[in-house]
Amino acid sequence: MRIRGAPAIGLAAAYGILLAVENELRSAAHDPPDHYFDHDEEIARPGGVEIGAPVVRKKFMQAKKVIANTRPTAINLFWSMERMEEALDRGSPDPLEACARLAREAFIIHDEELETEFAIGRNGSGYLRDGMRVLTHCNAGGLATAGYGTALGVIASAHEEGKRLRVYVDETRPLLQGARLTAWELGRRGIDTTLLCDGAAASLIAARRIDAVIVGADRIAANGDSANKIGTLGLAVLCDAFDTPFYIAAPLSTFDPAVESGSMIPIEERDGSEVSSFAGVRTAPRGVAVYNPAFDVTPARLITAIITERGAVERPDAERLRPLRGPSG
């Protein structure tokens, strides 16, 4: 949980696999070179020891298994590991060359994701007009992604276009990503920011004091049902009840065409201590049972539009989302 946000988790998975393979080569050689994957330098065989290709592949699969079990909900994790595996198998089985391909692939993924976020920002900013009051939940900003943000990227993009926005930020219990991260990112960008408890959003939405809600996503099913940080579903239901647009901003890597609908998305349940204590202070009686899912699923029918790098899909469903996924989808 040190790394959070679906796109950032995807990047961490790529870099994590790279580091695991790299460390294996170093320790196998008993003489770790510093830059053996740097292609500007001559590649040295570590200590002259030959390491077989099966060692690299074995370590790759071990790391993949460990990483896959860290955060079951974020699909980007699996997507970026698939790309890494393709890079592994793409060329020479030579361990050092394979490792270099993994490094290159991780950097390419990072770079592409950043471009993706700029595109999401451009595609979504039209939904935010000058003077709007926008509410967001959790953190879908630079700290959760490759650096620009998805939902916060859309807000940043509208802000860069000169639109004056007031952004309300749910503190987002239990881990307070909204208070700790989103409020900080928005403040740093000079955007008018107001923090509130998650439970206070209803009073604003019901009083028509919110013009749009925009959040990120951790996994989107083929029919548009979207998993995102716990508390998102409640916002979507409120938006539906009070005719307020509800947007999801997420890269295509968040889509999971293998999952038909939201009910099939696995939801990570986290330790109860996140709820029953704070900063080392107990906030609940000892031994109380805790229900602490990290995510909930918002059904597609409650989503006004899903904003991706290839454009936005309004009133999303399986039919409307299919063309987005392109030839591979």
Catalytic residue among 34, 211, 218, 225: 218
Q: Of these, 54, 293, 323, 329, which contacts its own copies (CB under 8 A)?
A: 293
Identify any residues that bridge with 305 across adjacent strands, giving them in sequence order: 247, 314
- Does residue 218 carry a catalytic annotation? yes
Report the distance separating Cα 266 and Cα 6, nearest Å: 14
> Could you tell me the CA-to-CA distances from 97 to 25, 46, 93, 224 in Å, in that order?
12, 12, 7, 40
Q: Of these, 42, 289, 326, 327, which contacts its own copies (CB under 8 A)?
A: 289
DSSP 269: B
- Shortest distance, CB of residue 293 to its own copies, whole angstroms? 6
Q: Of these, 176, 264, 318, 324, which contacts its own copies (CB under 8 A)?
A: 176
Nearest Cα to Cα of residue 310 among 295, 298, 292, 326: 326
CA triple 16-19-23, angle to 5 deg: 145
- For position 266 contacting its own copies by CB under 8 A, the verdict is no
- For position 93 contacting its own copies by CB under 8 A, the verdict is no
- For position 278 contacting its own copies by CB under 8 A, the verdict is yes
| Contact string 136-155 vs its own copies (x = CB under 8 A) | -x------------------
Site residues for its own copies, 182-201, by CB under 8 A, read: 183-184, 187, 192-201
Report the distance separating Cα 20 and Cα 68, nearest Å: 14
- For position 220 contacting its own copies by CB under 8 A, the verdict is no
Q: Of these, 18, 296, 306, 321, which contacts its own copies (CB under 8 A)?
A: 296
Q: Which stretch binds its own copies (CB under 8 A): 17-25, 115-123, 216-224, 285-293?
A: 285-293
What does the DSSP assignment read for 111-152?
HHHHHHHHHHHHHHGGGS-TT-EEEE-S--BGGGSSSSBSHH
Q: 73, exposed or middle or buried, with CB in 10 Å at 0-12, 13-18, 19+? A: buried
Query: Which are the catalytic amino acids?
Result: 218
| Residues of the shown chain interacting with its own copies in the complex, contacts defined by CB under 8 A | 137, 168, 170-174, 176, 179-180, 183-184, 187, 192-204, 206, 230-234, 237-238, 240-241, 267, 272, 275-276, 278-279, 281, 283-285, 287-293, 296-297
